[in-house]
Amino acid sequence: MKHIIIVGAGVSGLAAASRLIHNGLSPSSVTILEAQNHIGGRVHTIVTNEGIPLELGAQWVHGQEGNVVFEMGKAAQELNTDIQTLESSGFADNVVFGFEDYKICKEQVRELMQLIESLKETSKNDLSKWNKSLGEYYEEKFKEFLDGGSLSTLDRSVARAFFEWYHLMENVIDGSDSWEETCGSGHLHYQECPGDPLVTWKRGYSTLFNILMKDLPCCHNGLQMPLSDRILLNKAVDTIDWDPEGEKKIEITCTDGTLYVADFVIITSSLGFLKSNFDSFFVPSLPPFKKRAIQGLGFGTVDKIFIKFKNPWWSSDWGGVSLLRRRPEGVNGNVVRSQWSDHILGFYTVRLHPNMLIAWVTGKAAREAEKLSENEILEVCSTLLKKYVGADFAYTEPTGLIRSTWFNNPFILGSYSYRSMKSKEMNVWASDLAQPVYDSSGYPRLFFAGEATHDSFYSTVHGAVETGWREADRIAKYCNGFQNAKL
């Protein structure tokens, strides 16, 4: 009987394990080594003191058609599919856009939104032939728009401020530090699933773990999957010793000194972790094609800052504020903003949490903010809120915060992947990262799963699930005892 070790109990690791067992492999043949003290990886639901779930990681089910996570969640009746969920979205209708001293009227916002949508639509055809970055494309098209004199109700400075806000928004979506680093043509690799892109979970995203492991009555039809017994927590892997000649089994050594032996290993570690550790993690070193893929694909940081107040000081019809900034005098090119707070997208209300606002921050600014104390973060955020909305409401000071620190997590080191200009220069893509590593006899030994290995659903949970299934099915053809493998 073959033994499979899965490194990481995130969504792709759990999906791979459940698929292996579903396809007929004995649960005793599967071991999941998880470095942290909880499962889930970048899906991390916490429960507040009020007993309400809050998402520090993945927040939405992006799309309804062709989305395996939506299909599973809907079948389990665990999704909010009958309500409008524009929480925390900078584009929500009830979100205000403005500078510190005045807000843009709704007609102006609609005109600017239409401009962005027009640019996005045009890009679907143009980017396939574009050899530069996504940012350079948008900058060029935006300049053409301004020079064309098409603005009806706005002056150029307001339009420019909105455009630079959208740059921050795009960084949140892509996970890149800047859209100057995002590959223009590579950006088209991502495919959106049709339907509502902001579907939420009734009891939190972590419910997906129960569905994958068939721990919900509606999911297992009397047959539960004993996966929890196969997950070992606090088992950080130190080295994966694989034999390129294929003469011995793979040995996995954990930092606590424990040793595990396997015929196959599925690595579901984040791309951020692999970038920082691949030289020492694999013994001997990975083949050049695999190292190039790890180095070339992009992996960024997106953080959330949930700010708590004793009571909401805002009105029930207010969805938040998107922060517009004026350009320094005499600056015509890209603006270099030195303060991390200059990269905060805005402050938005949070569904089910009436006393909270959420701020989004990305890239270098997010990594800088992670170094600061909670009090320092609160002071900066409160100062911004008072400047932008203090005159509109009877503002009160925050009482605390909850925040993500994905870059400072040594087992993740970021948030999600994107297609960078380096990816294009090195000509490496998801398929390169997904390709197994074979021994000299042509037998696969190391398998790779996770959102960064998906050709078109990278950066998503449904992409992570699909890659876990993909690698489980790939292993199936090399194992005895599989009855139902979908090869």
Cα separations (Å) of 154 from 97, 165, 207, 320, 378? 13, 16, 46, 22, 34
What pLDDT score was predicted for residue 486? 37
Burial 97-126 (b: 16+ CB within 10 A, else e): bbbeeebbeeebbebbeebbeebeeebeee
**Residue 346 and residue 370 in contact, taking contact as beta carbons nearer than 8 Å:** no
Question: Does the pLDDT at position 481 exceed 60?
Answer: no
**pLDDT tier at 336, thresholds 50, 70, 90:** low
Residue 485: predicted pLDDT: 39
pLDDT of residue 22: 86
Q: Report pLDDT for 326.
A: 87
pLDDT band at 333 (very low <50, low <70, confident <90, very high): low
pLDDT at 93: 76
pLDDT digits (tens, 9 = 90+) for 443-466: 999 999 999 999 999 999 999 999
pLDDT band at 147 (very low <50, low <70, confident <90, very high): confident
Domain boundaries for CATH 3.50.50.60 within the chain: 4-83+200-299+417-476
CB atoms under 10 Å from CB of 379, counted, come to 14
**Which residue has 């590579």 as its token pair?**
186
Give Cβ neighbours of residue 186 (< 8 Å, ≥ 6 apart): 419, 420, 423, 424, 429
pLDDT confidence of 216, banded at 50, 70, 90? low
> How many residues comprise the chain?
487
Tell me what the pLDDT averaged over the chain comes to. Answer: 91
> What residue spans in the chain does CATH classification 3.90.660.10 cover?
95-192+302-403
219 or 278, greater pLDDT = 278
Please tell me the predicted confidence (pLDDT) of residue 483: 42
At 86, the pLDDT band (50, 70, 90 cuts) reads: very low
Digit-coded pLDDT (tens) for 398-455: 999 999 999 999 999 999 999 999 999 999 999 999 999 999 999 999 999 999 999 9
Q: What is the pLDDT of residues 44-84, one digit of tens each?
A: 999 999 999 999 999 999 999 999 999 999 999 999 986 55
Whether 300 contacts 421, CB under 8 Å = no
Q: Evaluate if residue 149 carries a pLDDT over 80.
A: no
Structure tokens at 470: 């993909």
- In three-state form (DSSP H/G/I as H, E/B as E, the rest C), the secondary structure along the chain is CCCEEEECCEHHHHHHHHHHHHCCCCHHHEEEECCCCCCECCCCEEECCCCCEEECCCCCECCCCCCHHHHHHHHCCCEECCCCCCCCCCCCCCEEEECCCCECCHHHHHHHHHHHHHHHHHHHHHHHHCCCEHHHHHHHHHHHHHHCCCCCCCCHHHHHHHHHHHHHHHHHHHCCCCCCCEECCHHHHCCCCCCCCCEEECCCCCHHHHHHCCCCHHHHCCCCCCCHHHEECCCCEEEEECCCCCCCCEEEEECCCCEEEECEEEECCCHHHHHHHHHHHEECCCCHHHHHHHHHCEEECEEEEEEECCCCCCCCCCCEEEECCCCCCCCCCCCCCCCHHHHCCEEEEECCEEEEEEEEEEHHHHHHHCCCCHHHHHHHHHHHHHHHHCCCCCCCCCCEEEECCCCCCCCCCCCEEECEHHHHHHCCCHHHHHCCEECCCCCEEEEECCHHHCCCCCCCHHHHHHHHHHHHHHHHCCCCCCCCCCC
pLDDT at 190: 96
- Can you give 291-306 as a three-state secondary structure string? HHHHHHCEEECEEEEE
ω into 284 cis (within 30 of 0): yes
What's the CATH architecture for 95-192+302-403?
Alpha-Beta Complex (3.90)
Fold adopted by 4-83+200-299+417-476: FAD/NAD(P)-binding domain (3.50.50)
